[in-house]
Chains A and B, each alone.
Chain A
Amino acid sequence: MDLTDYLGRPPTPSETAIFRDQQARLGPGIFENPLLRSEIVEGIAFVPRAARLMTTRPLIEPELPQ
């Protein structure tokens, strides 16, 4: 995303720095997050990461108690 469009003016050096810092944190924090390699859930001992990602529905809300 173009930061000038986003801010309606050119970014300051600290805004550019925090943008780049966030970009860098997406790797370890999101795309390589250890939880995506968790050996868990209902007896599944090991699920290849790609399969896990294909079968993990992303949107949840607490279900109302029945």
Chain B
Amino acid sequence: MTGRIEIRRRAYLAGAFSLEEEADRALGRLRALPMAETPFAALEPARSLAQAAALDRARARGDALGPLAGALLAHKDMFDREGFSTGFGAHFSRRQPAAGTATVLSRLDAAGQVDLGRLKMSEFAMGPTGHNHHHGMPANPAVPGAITGGSSSGSGAAVAAGHVAAALGSDTGGSIRLPAACNGVVGFKPTQGRAPMDRTMPLGYSQDCVGPLAATVADAQAVLSLIAPLPPAAPKPVPVAELRVGFDTGAFTDGISARMRHALSDLVARLAAMGARPVGLDLAFLSHLGEPANVTAMAEAAAVHADALALAPDSYGPQVRARLVQAAAIPAHAYLRAQQIRRVAHDRLTAEAFGRVDLLLLPTLADTPPQAALLDVGDGPGVDSVVAGLTRLTRPASFLGLPALSLPIARLADGPLSVQVIGPAWADDRVAALALTIETALALPAIQPEPEYA
């Protein structure tokens, strides 16, 4: 299936529109959005229009243009761009002027993107709901009143609303896949270590990944390939007729809704009809990764934030500060014990799952996205149960460094149901290939308008 970015690129190269005019119109629409609803933290109109005009001139000269030519993008407000400030979803006093540009942005610039600006996010990327004490949560365009999911809340909402073709996010425990699932779009967390992390805000060093959210699998894969080419020896896709697909039959997915179970079961049956071999696996041991993953993330986050926390604790929102306080209760040997648990889980998943299957299918959320009002829980110990509940199904792939792509498999009246395709390390292309097969087979109605020039 051809992605929307490629469709627009072809139209742009054929002279169907002026990118400068297109960007100007988009900026006009975005300026008109109410602050409380917009997924944008900041627009960068002068730079965006200059970028678009330069591409129009290059097209007029007949220069070769990159694979993103014609596409409007925007990114989570955690990537440095020289000459601008990075906001991190934090209090305005914490903005930092950038001394250089993140490699991931430079690569997308070189590929011909027009970057419209900075997208809202959970404060310092700490929060899976999308709530933000300082700046609020952007509206979920797919499900009125529902959480956008976090921490890449603006990225999910901007793609779902059709403001941009794709947006970079980051994922430490589900922060790409959760907003993708909440907004009914695609989110692709690559293998840990694949995407360059320079000049990007750290949260938890050993789990942080940069990756795209996009309207289609092809778009997400295209953007990911541009920011982070795979090594040549990475595992290749497996034809669906030869594919062994694992799904959980154990307690790890006990908590999912009946309709999610039904949708997943239908999907597995559909893949089987295409020749794939479904393999039931008991993945109950993944249930024991929540606390070690959280201990790891919070201890690493404290290494980033401890100095600022002691100097200006009240520049943090109460919920983020509360989560950083968790780190003070984690001694060094608890952190290292969490890494031992991580090693054991990695070895078990390698032996018990990827020894028997090529890919895993798991739900991303237990059901459709919850309403925002239900999860605005303040700063007490209840925070942890909300975090643990939302990230239960996404954390294992983060903690074990695995590629995982979330895509919608049903659109219900109260929101989308989404699954993750998870692979062994570096099997990102295999993950994308199955996701594309699923997307094509299901042919769900588009969440945003098809491109004008399709």
Q: Give the secondary structure class of B's interface.
A: helix
Q: Is A36 within 8 A of B313, CB to CB?
A: no
Instruction: Please tell me if the beta carbons of B346 and A5 are within 8 angstroms of each other in the complex.
Output: no
CB–CB B347/A41 < 8 A: yes
Query: A40 is contacted by which of B338, B342, B348 (Cβ under 8 Å)?
Result: B348
B326 touches A64 (CB 8 A): no
For the complex, what is the distance from the CA of A19 to the CA of B346, rounded to whole Å?
29
Most interface-central of A62, A63, A64, A66 (chain B CB within 10 A):
A62
Cβ 8 A contact of B306, one of A3, A6, A40: A6
Q: Which of A6, A20, A62, A64 is B309 in contact with, Cβ under 8 Å?
A: A6
Q: Across the interface, which residues of A come within 8 angstroms of B242, CB to CB?
A: none
Q: Which of B285, B310, B322, B328 is the one whose CB lies under 8 Å from A8?
A: B310
Q: A29-B292, A40-B348 are in contact. Are A59 and B425 (CB under 8 A)?
A: no
- Mask for B101-119, Cβ within 8 A of A = 1, else 0? 0000000000000000000
Query: What residue of chain A has the Cβ atom nearest to residue B403's Cβ?
Result: A62
Chain A residue contacts of B318, Cβ below 8 A: 14
List of A residues within 8 angstroms of B328 by Cβ: 1, 3, 6, 19
With CB as the reference atom, state the residue of chain A lying closest to B307: A8
Asked if A22 contacts B326 (CB within 8 A), the reply is: yes
Within the complex, which residue of B309, B321, B334, B348 is in contact with A38, where a contact is CB–CB below 8 Å? Answer: B348
Interface residues in B, total, Cβ within 8 A: 57
Query: Do A38 and B344 touch across chains, with their CB atoms under 8 A apart?
Result: yes
B139 CB to closest chain A CB, in angstroms?
A: 29
List of B residues within 8 angstroms of A1 by Cβ: 328-329
Contact status A33-B313, CB under 8 Å: no
Residue-wise, chain A 1-35 has the 8 Å CB interface mask toward B (1 for contact) of 10101111101001101111111011011110111
Q: B295 near A: Cβ within 8 Å?
A: yes
How many angstroms from the CA of A35 to the CA of B289 in the assembled complex?
Answer: 9
Chain B residue at minimal CB-CB distance from A56: B340
Is B447 on the interface with A (CB-CB < 8 A)? Answer: no
Q: How far is the CA of A28 from the CA of B341 in the complex (A)?
A: 13
A35 to B290, CA, bound (A): 12
CA distance A4 to B38 in the complex (A): 38
In the complex, the answer to whether B344 meets A30 with C-beta atoms within 8 Å is: no
Q: Which residues of A contact B285 (CB under 8 A)?
A: 34-35, 38
- On whether the beta carbons of B338 and A11 are closer than 8 Å, the reply is no
In chain B, residues 313-328, which have Cβ atoms closer than 8 Å to a Cβ of chain A? 313, 318, 321-323, 325-326, 328
Q: Which residue of B lies closest to A21 (CB)?
A: B381
Contacting residues, chain B, for A63 (C-beta < 8 A)? 425
Least distance between A3 CB and chain B CB atoms (Å): 6
Instruction: Flag whether A58 is at the interface (Cβ < 8 A).
Output: yes
Contact B310 A7 (CB under 8 A): yes
Whether B44 sits at the interface, judged by CB under 8 Å, is no
A residues near B323, Cβ cutoff 8 Å: 18
Flag whether A50 is at the interface (Cβ < 8 A): no
Could you say which of A11, A34, A60 has the most chain B C-beta atoms within 10 Å of its C-beta? A60
| Residues from chain B with Cβ under 8 Å of A42 in the complex | 347, 351
B: which residues have CB within 8 A of A?
191-193, 206, 231, 233-235, 285, 288-292, 295, 298, 306, 309-313, 318, 321-323, 325-326, 328-330, 334, 336-348, 351-352, 378-381, 383-384, 401-402, 425-426
List 21 A-B pairs, Cβ < 8 Å: A7-B309, A8-B310, A8-B312, A8-B313, A14-B380, A21-B384, A30-B291, A30-B292, A33-B337, A33-B341, A38-B285, A38-B344, A40-B344, A41-B347, A57-B340, A60-B342, A60-B343, A61-B193, A62-B193, A62-B402, A65-B231
A residues near B, CB below 8 A?
A: 1, 3, 5-9, 11, 14-15, 17-23, 25-26, 28-31, 33-36, 38, 40-42, 52-53, 56-66
Task: Using A5-B310, A36-B344, A40-B351 as known contacts, list a sample of 5 further A-B pairs with CB atoms less than 8 Å apart, ordered by residue number in A.
Answer: A7-B325, A14-B378, A17-B381, A62-B401, A65-B235
